[in-house]
Structure 1
Amino acid sequence: MLGRTASGVFWMARYLERAENTARLIDAGFRMALTRDRVVSEEEWRSVVATVGLRAGYEAANGSYTGVQVWNYLLRDKSNTGSVLAMTEAARTNARAVRTALTREVWEAVNESWMVLKDTLSRPVREGSVIDVLGTIRKQATLVRGALDGTMLRNDNYNFCRLGTFVERADNTARILDIKYFVLLPSLAWVGSSLDNVQWESVLRAVSGERAYRWLNAGAMDPRGITEFLILDERFPRSLAFCMDKLDSNLTGLARQYGNESSANELVAGIKRDLSAMTIERIFEGGLHQYIAAFLSRNRQVAQAIEHDYRFRA
């Protein structure tokens, strides 16, 4: 398989996952902002922009953090290469370049997503329509994912798609947890309060984990339990442990096909070992922020190793 083909399907999947994650984060921010006064609401929106790593670009284009400014910047602003619209277009560009590596159903799903979102986001998104727009983004992502899972051979093309998805998903879940503790919560005095509980619920909403967590924990909102769920629970498809397990299985599939393991295999295996030996008590003792910062760094190393080992730029 050519390196540029592997790169195309890998980055197609990353852009699609990142676009969906951005929509989920906006949804969580919107729901939190509805229950807050104006000043605190702006802090919520600042946290959303910080989570996706676009604070510098946003502040260069906008003077305040109102909801309508934030979600339009993140959804459709032409100056923002990290907007949902720009990322969907980038996914389509990559998919078109590697059409022979995709099934017809996958290409059509990606192309349709681009056309639907281009039309949906051709106008500024108002407060009354933002929830419907975010629902459309999630629906299109689900259609592409269904086409991938339902029609792709489990070969190297599929494995590179999955690698892109789970590298991106792990990064997103870790960032949401980190921002919760360092931006969202205004003061340690709020820990354990109703405000704190609402924010943790919003974290779960952002990763579509609220129902699963409540089902496992009889509805109790416990910060340590939620953190453990999002980091260590291999049953939840957006947890760090789940993402690493899938990266491991897809890298193993590539190693079996190509006859040798890569440095990415070793990196992911090391992260999996550490996660399986970790407890939530040890994470909090060492500092949640420090743990997540280290994980994000290791996850980036995995992505870079995949690109290097399989010669994406060759």
Structure 2
Amino acid sequence: MLSRTASSLYWLGRYIERADFAARLVEATVRLDVLSPRPAGELAWGSALAVTDASEAFAARGAHLGQQSVARFLTLDSTHPGSILSCLDKARTNARAVRTALSRDAWTAINRAWLVFDGRSSPGGASATINLIEAVKAETRGFEGAIHRMLRNQTTWFIRLGQAIERADNTARLLDVKYHILLPEGEPVGGVVDRDQWTTILQTVSAVTAYRWLYSDGLTPANVIDLLIARHELPRSLAASADEAVEFLSHLAKRTGHHGEADRLARARHARMMKVRSADVILGGLHQYLDDFLDENARLHHAIGRQFKFA
């Protein structure tokens, strides 16, 4: 496989995953905003920007921090590289470059997701925004299903590797922002706002039902942290992302013969994740742990590019 083809497939996976995460984040924030008293709602939109590392870019616009302006920025702003529209546009460009490697279902899902935004200039109010997000999520789920039905070969492994790296990054940022920023001053830990916000985190990673299956002692921050870091059963956990990175790199090494720094980094991270205990992470400093994880994930991303010669 040519390095530029590998690059397009890998980035296709990352951009689709990034668009899906942004959609889920906007949806959860809209719901939290509706439920929360002021200023908790405004703070929720500020946290959505922080999770996507877009606070400075949004501030440069000089817009009011609220649902209409932030939702438009994160969904429809073509000048913001992290908006859903921008991510889908980049995903579509990469998909077009490897069109013959994709199934018709996979290409159609990407194209339809991009067309959801055709002719739109605003996401609308809360209900309209939710409807827009649901349409995007339906197509990203369609793409995910199409990938699972394709041949298990280099095409699917590069796409899913990109998704795994992106998913790890998104979950770590989401958890870090909630733990350190989101709760308004004066609001009690364990209070209504705090519980609503932790529920929103679970909604963003599609883990509300999973949480209820795995924990019987009610909603607690410690359990949510445990779920998102250490539970391999949850597809969007850090542990599951580490599992997948090793798996797909192993498949690619056997098929392509490219084996090196990325494999070593992925296996070392996986070995640590197999031993991680969320209680120890919290005691040792969650913020520092997540910072280190994000740095390690970035190193793995760059190592993948060098190993497959598309850095």
TM-score range, shorter chain: over 0.9
Q: Which amino acid aligns with 1:217?
A: Y
1:292-311 equivalences under 5 Å are 292-311=290-309
- Give the gaps of 5 or more residues in structure 1: none
Corresponding residue for 1:15?
15
How far apart in 2 are the matches of 1:193 and 1:292? 25
Q: 1:209 to 1:219 in 2, by over 3 A?
A: farther
Change (3 A) 1:37 1:197: closer
Alignment of 1:1-314 (within 5 A): 1-119=1-119, 121-150=120-149, 152-187=150-185, 190-218=188-216, 220-313=218-311
Partner amino acid for 2:306?
H
SS in 2 for 1:34: helix
Cα distance, 1:102 vs structure 2 = 1.7
User: What is the TM-score of this pair, normalised by structure 1?
Assistant: 0.95
Cα offset for 1:196?
A: 1.6
Give the CA deviation at 1:183.
1.4
Mark the CA change 1:87 to 1:178 in structure 2 (over 3 Å): closer, same or farther.
same
Q: Measured at CA, do residues 123 and 188 of structure 1 come closer, stay the same or move farther in structure 2, by a change above 3 Å?
A: closer
CA distance in 2, matches of 1:272, 1:198: 32
Q: Deviations over 1:204-247 (max 9, x none)?
A: 01111011101222361011111001100000111110111011
Q: Which runs of 5+ in 2 are unaligned?
A: none
Q: 1:251 to 1:66 in 2, by over 3 A?
A: same
Letter aligned with residue 24 of structure 2: R
TM-score scaled to structure 2, two decimals? 0.96
**Distance in 2 (alpha carbons) for counterparts of 1:109 and 1:193:** 41
**Partner Cα separation in structure 2 for residue 33 and residue 213 of structure 1:** 22
Alpha carbons 2:76, 2:117 under 8 Å: kept: no
Q: Is the 8 A contact 1:5 1:101 kept in 2?
A: no
**Which whole-Å CA distance do the structure 1 matches of 2:247 and 2:2 have between them?**
21
Contact in 2 for aligned 1:32/1:202 (Cα 8 Å): yes
